[in-house]
Amino acid sequence: MSNIRCIGIATGGGDAPGLNAVIRAATKAAILKYNWKVIGIPDGFDGLIWPEKSFELTLKEVSGILPRGGTILGTTNRGNPFQYKTEENGQEVTRDISDQVIANAHKLGIDAIITIGGDGSQKIGHELFQKGLKLVGVPKTIDNDLSATEVTFGFDTALHTVTDAIDKIHTTAASHHRVIVVEVMGRDCGWIALEAGIAGGAHVILIPEIPFTLKSICDCIAARERAGKHFTIVVVAEGIKLPSELKQMARGWPVGNTIGDAIGLFANKEVRVSVLGHIQRGGSPSPYDRVLATRFGVAAVELIAEGNFGKMVALRAGAIVAVDVARAIGHLKSVDPEGELVRTAKAIGIGFGD
């Protein structure tokens, strides 16, 4: 058993629906089960640069936050105390302020920290752990691409948002006989595009894991035309790798525009592009995400109570387990191009441009 009296909670990286549910669950379990004091650290590890900004998380403070998107603690996807960027004499300099961050945690009376974040935040957390800070991690990303856990909270809510958007886009595409390209998030992996594409009845899905050609996409559109279907929905993950034929016409971000331009030129169809962007990270978490986030939050508190630091909670075979953060970081969970989900999609005629 660990000798804990006070814990800190920080959220780092991009926000995801369910962060507040983790904060609430961890705070409640810490107070109700263990009688610990809980301190909210604002804006990820940046909050420990200015400890005076930290505040106590009481039961009252976390009341009513379960259905709220975002994070009441604030977050950043730029803060790294090992490479802290600051301006000195008009010049940008990078400094390692990790010792200061650890000292400030101790100054606040924090015995252990729960860091809720994606791969980048867990990596920073692990480096702080190696320097002596007691930490446990809770994985987070709407992209669902962390290999250590079967699911991350936020993904299910994002799927609902994207599926709803595709449903709505369907009616316009069908009414106007258009091709509509829907760009979704997924910086490295195509989980959102694949699952929301299947759920929303997309006709073509482009993901980073499957190389594609413009010809193959246009062949799908032409085949649909011949079958009397004069509209096509193309779902594109933002992280796709453009084939060389399209690189010359690329007009930068968002990549969906390049796909839309290319289809417009070669498929002789009217094309529109819809980039869903950050609406995918917002909104109230789905019931699934609320439950998973609550399980993760309580499990993180239990790890601290057991003195089991340097671990991250994860979902495996439906159960909550603890994995070594050191082993969890840096491993992406990619879509298997030969896997059951892709084969299912192909079996119902969805094209991947391959």
Task: Compute the least distance from the CB of residue 23 to ligand F6P, in Å.
Answer: 19
Residue 14 CB, nearest approach to ligand F6P (Å): 4
In whole angstroms, give the CA distance from residue 12 to residue 184.
22
State how far the Cα of 155 lies from the Cα of 189, in Å rounded to an integer.
12
Q: Residue 83: CB partners within 8 Å, gap ≥ 6?
A: 94, 96
Exposure string over 232-245, b if 16+ CB within 10 A, otherwise e: bbbbbbbbbebeee
Which is closer to ligand F6P, CB of 64 or CB of 277? 277
Burial zone of 12 (CB within 10 Å; 0-12 exposed, 13-18 middle, 19+ buried): buried
Q: How far apart are CA 241 and CA 262, in angstroms?
A: 15
Tokens of 133: 């800070």
Do residues 138 and 297 make contact, with C-beta atoms less than 8 angstroms apart? yes
Give the interface with ligand F6P as residue ranges (CB under 6 A). Answer: 14, 77, 118, 141-143, 185-187, 238, 281
Which residue lies nearer to ligand F6P by CB, 124 or 142?
A: 142
Distance CA 204, CA 187 (A): 19
Q: What is the largest CA-CA distance in the chain?
A: 71
Told to judge if 164 belongs to the known catalytic residues of this protein, a careful annotator would answer: no
Side-chain half-sphere exposure of 309, counting CA atoms within 13 A = 21
Min CB(300)–ligand F6P separation in Å: 21
* Residue 226 CB-density burial (10 A; 0-12 exposed, 13-18 middle, 19+ buried): exposed
Q: How far is the CB of 335 from ligand F6P (least distance, A)?
A: 14
Asked if residue 254 has a cis previous peptide bond (ω within 30° of 0), the answer is yes
Q: Which is nearer to ligand F6P, 70 or 264 (CB)?
A: 70
In angstroms, give the least distance from the CB of 107 to ligand F6P: 30
For the CB of residue 195, give the shortest distance to ligand F6P in the complex, in Å.
14
- Would you say 329 and 312 are in contact if contact means Cβ atoms under 8 Å apart? no
Q: Of 185 and 292, which has the nearer Cβ to ligand F6P? A: 185
Q: What is the 3-state secondary structure (H, E, C) of 189-235?
A: CCHHHHHHHHHHCCCEEECCCCCCCHHHHHHHHHHHHHCCCCCEEEE
Q: Pick the catalytic residue from 15, 43, 111, 143.
A: 143
- SS3 state at 45: helix
The pair of structure tokens assigned to 69 is 């998107």
For residue 274, the minimal CB distance to ligand F6P (Å) is 16
Identify which of residues 21 and 142 has a Cβ nearer to ligand F6P in the complex.
Answer: 142
Which one, 43 or 238, has the nearer CB to ligand F6P?
238
Closer by beta carbon to ligand F6P, 98 or else 141: 141
Query: Which residues form the catalytic set?
Result: 143
